[in-house]
Amino acid sequence: MRYFIELSYNGASFHGWQIQPNANSVQETIEKALSLILRTSISIVGAGRTDAGVHAKFMTAHFDTEVIFVPKDLTHKLNSLLKEPIAIYKIYVVQSEAHARFDAHRRAYEYRVITRKNPFENSYAYLVNQSLDVVKMNEAAALLLKYKNFKCFSKSNTDVKTYNCDLFRSEWILEENHLLVFHIAANRFLRNMVRAVVGTLLEVGLGKLDIKDIDRILQSEDRGEAGYSVPAKGLYLTEVVYPESVFLK
Protein backbone atom coordinates (compact mmCIF):
# COMPACT_ATOMS: atom_id res chain seq x y z
CA MET A 1 0.00 0.00 0.00
CA ARG A 2 1.06 3.59 -0.53
CA TYR A 3 1.03 6.13 2.29
CA PHE A 4 1.46 9.88 2.46
CA ILE A 5 3.28 11.55 5.35
CA GLU A 6 2.63 15.16 6.35
CA LEU A 7 5.52 16.71 8.27
CA SER A 8 7.59 19.79 8.98
CA TYR A 9 11.26 20.33 9.73
CA ASN A 10 13.83 22.87 10.79
CA GLY A 11 16.47 22.69 8.06
CA ALA A 12 19.28 24.37 9.99
CA SER A 13 20.96 21.08 10.96
CA PHE A 14 20.40 19.30 7.63
CA HIS A 15 22.15 19.37 4.27
CA GLY A 16 18.80 19.52 2.53
CA TRP A 17 16.00 17.02 2.00
CA GLN A 18 17.65 14.59 -0.40
CA ILE A 19 19.99 11.76 0.59
CA GLN A 20 23.62 12.52 -0.25
CA PRO A 21 26.97 10.94 0.67
CA ASN A 22 28.51 11.90 4.01
CA ALA A 23 25.80 14.44 4.84
CA ASN A 24 22.83 14.55 7.19
CA SER A 25 19.56 14.78 5.24
CA VAL A 26 15.88 14.89 6.23
CA GLN A 27 15.00 12.04 3.86
CA GLU A 28 17.62 9.67 5.25
CA THR A 29 16.72 10.50 8.86
CA ILE A 30 13.05 9.65 8.33
CA GLU A 31 13.82 6.53 6.29
CA LYS A 32 16.02 5.13 9.05
CA ALA A 33 13.33 5.78 11.66
CA LEU A 34 10.56 4.20 9.54
CA SER A 35 12.71 1.18 8.72
CA LEU A 36 13.55 0.65 12.38
CA ILE A 37 9.94 0.84 13.56
CA LEU A 38 8.43 -1.23 10.74
CA ARG A 39 11.38 -3.66 10.73
CA THR A 40 11.75 -3.54 6.96
CA SER A 41 13.62 -1.30 4.54
CA ILE A 42 11.55 1.80 3.72
CA SER A 43 12.29 4.43 1.07
CA ILE A 44 10.41 7.72 0.93
CA VAL A 45 9.87 10.25 -1.88
CA GLY A 46 9.37 13.89 -0.96
CA ALA A 47 7.27 16.55 -2.64
CA GLY A 48 10.40 18.61 -3.19
CA ARG A 49 14.14 18.74 -2.65
CA THR A 50 14.84 21.65 -0.34
CA ASP A 51 18.46 22.80 -0.20
CA ALA A 52 20.75 22.84 2.82
CA GLY A 53 19.43 25.11 5.54
CA VAL A 54 15.95 25.55 4.02
CA HIS A 55 12.99 24.85 6.31
CA ALA A 56 9.58 23.29 5.71
CA LYS A 57 6.51 24.32 7.66
CA PHE A 58 4.64 21.76 5.58
CA MET A 59 6.07 18.92 3.50
CA THR A 60 4.62 15.71 2.11
CA ALA A 61 6.29 12.43 1.21
CA HIS A 62 5.13 8.97 0.19
CA PHE A 63 6.31 5.43 0.95
CA ASP A 64 5.19 1.90 0.14
CA THR A 65 4.89 -1.05 2.51
CA GLU A 66 2.82 -4.18 3.05
CA VAL A 67 3.49 -4.07 6.78
CA ILE A 68 0.26 -3.60 8.74
CA PHE A 69 0.26 -0.70 11.20
CA VAL A 70 -2.03 1.85 12.82
CA PRO A 71 -1.22 5.26 11.30
CA LYS A 72 -1.75 7.19 14.55
CA ASP A 73 0.51 4.77 16.42
CA LEU A 74 3.22 5.03 13.76
CA THR A 75 2.99 8.83 13.86
CA HIS A 76 3.48 8.78 17.63
CA LYS A 77 6.41 6.34 17.44
CA LEU A 78 8.14 8.36 14.73
CA ASN A 79 7.84 11.57 16.74
CA SER A 80 9.24 9.80 19.78
CA LEU A 81 12.20 8.46 17.81
CA LEU A 82 13.01 11.47 15.65
CA LYS A 83 14.87 14.43 17.08
CA GLU A 84 13.32 17.86 17.58
CA PRO A 85 14.04 19.32 14.11
CA ILE A 86 11.44 16.99 12.50
CA ALA A 87 7.74 16.70 13.34
CA ILE A 88 5.38 14.12 11.81
CA TYR A 89 1.75 15.28 11.70
CA LYS A 90 -0.20 12.66 9.81
CA ILE A 91 0.16 9.36 7.92
CA TYR A 92 -2.62 8.05 5.68
CA VAL A 93 -3.31 5.70 2.77
CA VAL A 94 -3.55 7.18 -0.73
CA GLN A 95 -4.16 5.83 -4.23
CA SER A 96 -1.55 3.25 -5.21
CA GLU A 97 -0.26 5.41 -8.09
CA ALA A 98 -0.19 8.67 -6.09
CA HIS A 99 3.18 10.44 -6.21
CA ALA A 100 4.22 13.02 -3.62
CA ARG A 101 6.41 14.91 -6.07
CA PHE A 102 4.90 14.53 -9.52
CA ASP A 103 1.22 14.82 -8.53
CA ALA A 104 1.62 18.08 -6.61
CA HIS A 105 0.12 20.89 -8.68
CA ARG A 106 0.78 23.80 -6.33
CA ARG A 107 3.62 24.60 -3.96
CA ALA A 108 4.12 27.70 -1.85
CA TYR A 109 7.13 29.23 -0.14
CA GLU A 110 7.70 32.18 2.10
CA TYR A 111 10.89 34.12 2.70
CA ARG A 112 11.35 36.05 5.93
CA VAL A 113 13.30 39.31 6.08
CA ILE A 114 13.89 41.38 9.22
CA THR A 115 14.84 45.04 9.04
CA ARG A 116 16.08 45.27 12.61
CA LYS A 117 18.26 42.86 14.58
CA ASN A 118 16.08 40.45 16.54
CA PRO A 119 17.49 37.71 18.79
CA PHE A 120 14.35 35.60 18.21
CA GLU A 121 14.50 35.85 14.41
CA ASN A 122 18.20 36.21 13.56
CA SER A 123 18.71 32.49 12.90
CA TYR A 124 15.52 32.08 10.86
CA ALA A 125 15.27 35.28 8.85
CA TYR A 126 17.57 37.43 6.72
CA LEU A 127 18.62 40.73 8.27
CA VAL A 128 18.55 43.72 5.90
CA ASN A 129 19.46 46.60 8.15
CA GLN A 130 18.57 49.24 5.57
CA SER A 131 15.44 51.08 4.46
CA LEU A 132 13.40 49.09 1.91
CA ASP A 133 10.79 50.47 -0.48
CA VAL A 134 8.13 47.79 -0.04
CA VAL A 135 5.74 49.45 -2.50
CA LYS A 136 8.28 49.19 -5.32
CA MET A 137 9.17 45.64 -4.26
CA ASN A 138 5.52 44.64 -4.60
CA GLU A 139 5.22 46.34 -7.99
CA ALA A 140 8.25 44.37 -9.15
CA ALA A 141 6.91 41.16 -7.60
CA ALA A 142 3.62 41.55 -9.49
CA LEU A 143 5.51 41.70 -12.81
CA LEU A 144 6.67 38.11 -12.29
CA LEU A 145 3.08 36.90 -12.71
CA LYS A 146 3.21 37.89 -16.41
CA TYR A 147 5.98 35.43 -17.20
CA LYS A 148 6.41 31.67 -17.64
CA ASN A 149 10.15 31.29 -18.26
CA PHE A 150 12.25 31.83 -15.12
CA LYS A 151 15.64 30.67 -16.36
CA CYS A 152 17.20 33.92 -15.14
CA PHE A 153 16.47 32.84 -11.56
CA SER A 154 17.60 29.22 -11.93
CA LYS A 155 20.88 27.89 -10.65
CA SER A 156 23.33 27.42 -13.52
CA ASN A 157 23.83 23.98 -15.10
CA THR A 158 20.51 22.69 -13.76
CA ASP A 159 19.33 19.60 -15.64
CA VAL A 160 15.67 20.35 -16.37
CA LYS A 161 13.51 19.89 -19.46
CA THR A 162 11.87 23.30 -19.11
CA TYR A 163 12.36 26.53 -17.21
CA ASN A 164 8.64 27.32 -17.36
CA CYS A 165 6.64 27.72 -14.14
CA ASP A 166 3.05 28.84 -13.59
CA LEU A 167 3.07 31.45 -10.81
CA PHE A 168 -0.09 31.94 -8.75
CA ARG A 169 1.18 34.41 -6.14
CA SER A 170 4.08 36.82 -5.72
CA GLU A 171 3.80 39.48 -3.00
CA TRP A 172 5.39 41.00 0.07
CA ILE A 173 3.49 41.30 3.34
CA LEU A 174 4.72 43.69 6.02
CA GLU A 175 4.09 42.19 9.45
CA GLU A 176 4.79 43.37 13.00
CA ASN A 177 8.18 43.68 14.70
CA HIS A 178 10.08 44.76 11.56
CA LEU A 179 9.28 41.48 9.77
CA LEU A 180 8.74 41.42 6.01
CA VAL A 181 7.55 38.16 4.39
CA PHE A 182 7.62 37.33 0.68
CA HIS A 183 4.95 34.85 -0.44
CA ILE A 184 5.27 32.96 -3.72
CA ALA A 185 3.26 30.04 -5.10
CA ALA A 186 3.59 28.07 -8.34
CA ASN A 187 3.03 24.67 -9.88
CA ARG A 188 6.80 24.05 -9.70
CA PHE A 189 10.03 25.83 -8.82
CA LEU A 190 13.51 25.77 -10.31
CA ARG A 191 16.56 25.12 -8.18
CA ASN A 192 17.50 28.23 -6.15
CA MET A 193 14.66 30.14 -7.86
CA VAL A 194 12.97 31.63 -4.80
CA ARG A 195 16.20 32.82 -3.21
CA ALA A 196 17.25 34.49 -6.47
CA VAL A 197 13.84 36.12 -6.87
CA VAL A 198 13.99 37.50 -3.33
CA GLY A 199 17.53 38.82 -3.80
CA THR A 200 16.47 40.59 -6.99
CA LEU A 201 13.38 42.13 -5.41
CA LEU A 202 15.43 43.32 -2.43
CA GLU A 203 17.74 45.12 -4.84
CA VAL A 204 14.68 46.93 -6.16
CA GLY A 205 13.72 47.84 -2.59
CA LEU A 206 17.24 49.15 -1.95
CA GLY A 207 17.21 51.25 -5.12
CA LYS A 208 19.93 49.21 -6.82
CA LEU A 209 17.51 48.05 -9.52
CA ASP A 210 14.55 49.81 -11.08
CA ILE A 211 11.15 48.20 -11.57
CA LYS A 212 11.65 48.31 -15.34
CA ASP A 213 14.79 46.18 -14.90
CA ILE A 214 12.61 43.21 -13.94
CA ASP A 215 11.28 42.84 -17.49
CA ARG A 216 14.80 43.12 -18.88
CA ILE A 217 16.14 40.48 -16.48
CA LEU A 218 13.34 37.99 -17.20
CA GLN A 219 13.61 38.45 -20.96
CA SER A 220 17.38 37.94 -20.83
CA GLU A 221 17.02 34.36 -19.47
CA ASP A 222 20.48 34.97 -17.98
CA ARG A 223 21.19 34.21 -14.30
CA GLY A 224 23.98 36.77 -14.39
CA GLU A 225 21.49 39.57 -15.00
CA ALA A 226 19.38 38.83 -11.90
CA GLY A 227 20.19 39.74 -8.33
CA TYR A 228 22.02 37.77 -5.66
CA SER A 229 20.68 34.69 -3.88
CA VAL A 230 19.64 35.37 -0.30
CA PRO A 231 20.68 32.96 2.51
CA ALA A 232 18.78 29.69 2.93
CA LYS A 233 17.86 30.34 6.58
CA GLY A 234 14.95 32.63 5.69
CA LEU A 235 13.25 30.25 3.25
CA TYR A 236 10.30 28.00 4.19
CA LEU A 237 8.20 25.57 2.17
CA THR A 238 4.66 26.27 3.43
CA GLU A 239 2.19 24.41 1.22
CA VAL A 240 1.89 21.42 -1.12
CA VAL A 241 -1.46 20.86 -2.84
CA TYR A 242 -2.72 17.78 -4.70
CA PRO A 243 -5.75 17.00 -6.87
CA GLU A 244 -8.58 15.10 -5.17
CA SER A 245 -7.83 12.07 -7.36
CA VAL A 246 -4.74 11.35 -5.23
CA PHE A 247 -6.77 10.62 -2.12
CA LEU A 248 -8.98 7.66 -1.28
CA LYS A 249 -12.68 8.42 -1.27
Domains of the chain, first to last:
2-102 (3.30.70.580), 106-239 (3.30.70.660)
pLDDT in tens, 174-195: 998 899 999 999 999 999 999 9
pLDDT in tens, 30-56: 999 999 999 999 999 999 989 999 999
Confidence of residue 114 (pLDDT cuts 50, 70, 90): very high
d(CA 160, CA 188): 12
d(CA 238, CA 169): 13
Q: Is 64 a catalytic residue?
A: no
pLDDT over 80 at 59, yes or no: yes
pLDDT in tens, 64-99: 999 999 999 999 999 999 988 999 999 999 999 999
**Dihedral of the alpha carbons of 56, 29, 47, 35, in degrees to the nearest 10:** -140
Q: Which of 51, 73, 210, 222 is catalytic?
A: 51
Q: What is the 3-state secondary structure (H, E, C) of 100-130?
A: CCCCCCEEEEEEEEECCCCCCCCCCCEECCC
Confidence of residue 118 (pLDDT cuts 50, 70, 90): very high
49 contact partners, CB below 8 Å, separation of at least 6: 16, 17, 18
In this prediction, residue 41 carries a pLDDT of: 97
In this structure, are residues 147 and 157 in contact, taking their beta carbons and an 8 Å threshold? no
pLDDT over 80 at 159, yes or no: no
Nearest CA to 177 out of 238, 111, 237, 117 is that of 117
d(CA 88, CA 34): 11
